[in-house]
């Protein structure tokens, strides 16, 4: 007889599926973006295991209140949100990260299954194992996937009304037309009885936004520069982090924060078969983080095919949580 102390955690072991290979080939995508006249690196490549931890550290910074504000809004309205959604759906968390935001909803939404999707495979696997230990009564499925271009739901995802959860204003990483196309895909995932719960950061004073992405401790700088280490690992390139510095600022014309890495000196970066030279001062664009207005959010969701949009904000209108019914 196997004692229950040994069996219980095994029963709680969550399912984990790695679908990274089905979507995009990181090497081809990175090589192409780096060879453009205006070189860039898609922001999803921030999230190697260290990058995922640095992002958690960013969320602790006083200058970066997004996650705390979002949590406060959800806490304040969770009763109403849960009543509108109704219990017993399948909770699909896009960019689940450490899964903490979704876990806070478990008691309220009583999901029949929790599906955590993230590109950060190792990090997600670790976090859902811990999550399953803490929530042995929940059915948990982890999926490692780059969901930015297509959202593939394997047959292991349960039937039932879907609640798509896309918190943290990650929607801001998409250019406006891409954001709309992405929301249309979430709308398709919702079927006709589902909901989308979306977090969006709102436009605010430029000084606040500049500081939120260029904090004096340098955590965001480390997060940004770490992308070069991940690119080296994925592409086989030879970026030297010491050759680059962090640049981040709010661009009011496009209503977005931009992050770049800037060459400190002339550098040539090589990877199998190819090289690219950068002059001192040249930049590689690593992230856009669009900031929204409440009306802009409503419009975008309506255009994506959602009906009845509820917007919840904090008293300073710094952040909004939108609940949209399919």
Contact positions vs ligand AVJ (CB under 6 A)? 58, 66, 168-170, 172-173, 213, 220, 287, 289
Q: Which is nearer to ligand AVJ, 14 or 48 (CB)?
A: 48
> For residues 191 and 60, what is the distance between their CA atoms, to the nearest angstrom?
36
Q: From 13, 22, 49, select the one nearest 141 (Cα to Cα).
A: 13
- Which parts of the chain are beta strand (E)? 15-18, 90-94, 113-118, 140-144, 162-166, 195-201, 244-251, 256-263, 267-271, 274-278, 283-290, 307-313, 319-325
> For residues 49 and 32, what is the distance between their CA atoms, to the nearest angstrom?
24
Q: From 47, 188, 68, select the one nearest 117 (Cα to Cα).
A: 47
Q: Which is nearer to ligand AVJ, 69 or 289 (CB)?
A: 289
Q: Which is nearer to ligand AVJ, 237 or 289 (CB)?
A: 289
CB of 309 to ligand AVJ, least distance (A): 20
Q: Which is nearer to ligand AVJ, 89 or 199 (CB)?
A: 199
Secondary-structure breakdown of the chain: helix, strand, coil percentages, each rounded to the nearest 5: 40, 25, 35
CB of 179 to ligand AVJ, least distance (A): 12
Residue 19, strand partner residues:
none
CB of 325 to ligand AVJ, least distance (A): 24
Torsion sign across C-alpha atoms 281, 285, 291, 295? positive
Q: Which is nearer to ligand AVJ, 113 or 226 (CB)?
A: 226
CB of 56 to ligand AVJ, least distance (A): 11
């Amino acid at each position: 007889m196997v004692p229950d102390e040994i069996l219980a955690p095994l029963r709680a072991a969550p399912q984990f599926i790695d679908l990274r290979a089905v979507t995009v080939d990181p090497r081809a995508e990175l090589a192409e973006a780096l060879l453009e006249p205006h070189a860039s690196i898609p922001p999803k490549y921030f999230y190697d295991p260290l990058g995922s931890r640095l992002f958690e550290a960013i969320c602790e910074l006083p200058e970066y209140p997004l996650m705390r504000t979002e949590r406060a809004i959800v806490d304040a309205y969770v009763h109403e949100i849960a009543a509108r959604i109704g219990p017993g759906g399948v909770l699909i968390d896009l960019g689940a990260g450490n899964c903490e935001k979704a876990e806070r909803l478990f008691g309220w939404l009583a999901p029949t299954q929790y599906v955590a999707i993230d590109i950060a495979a190792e990090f997600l696997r670790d976090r859902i194992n811990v999550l399953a230990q803490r929530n042995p009564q929940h059915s948990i499925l982890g999926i490692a996937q780059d969901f930015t271009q297509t959202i593939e739901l394997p047959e292991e995802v349960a039937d039932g009304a879907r609640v798509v959860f896309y918190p943290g204003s990650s929607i801001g990483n998409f250019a406006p037309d891409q954001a709309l196309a992405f929301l249309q895909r979430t709308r398709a995932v919702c079927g006709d009885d589902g909901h989308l719960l979306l977090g969006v950061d709102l436009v605010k004073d430029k000084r606040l936004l500049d500081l939120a992405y260029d904090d004096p401790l340098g955590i965001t700088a480390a997060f940004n520069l770490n992308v070069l280490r991940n690119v080296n690992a994925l592409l086989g390139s030879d970026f030297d982090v010491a050759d680059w510095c962090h640049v981040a600022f709010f661009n009011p014309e496009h209503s977005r924060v931009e992050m770049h890495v800037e060459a400190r000196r002339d550098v040539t970066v090589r990877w199998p078969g190819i090289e690219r030279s950068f002059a001192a001062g040249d930049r590689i664009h690593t992230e856009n983080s669009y900031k929204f207005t409440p009306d802009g959010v409503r419009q975008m969701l309506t255009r994506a095919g959602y009906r009845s949009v509820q917007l919840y904000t904090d008293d300073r209108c710094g952040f909004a949580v939108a609940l949209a019914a399919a």
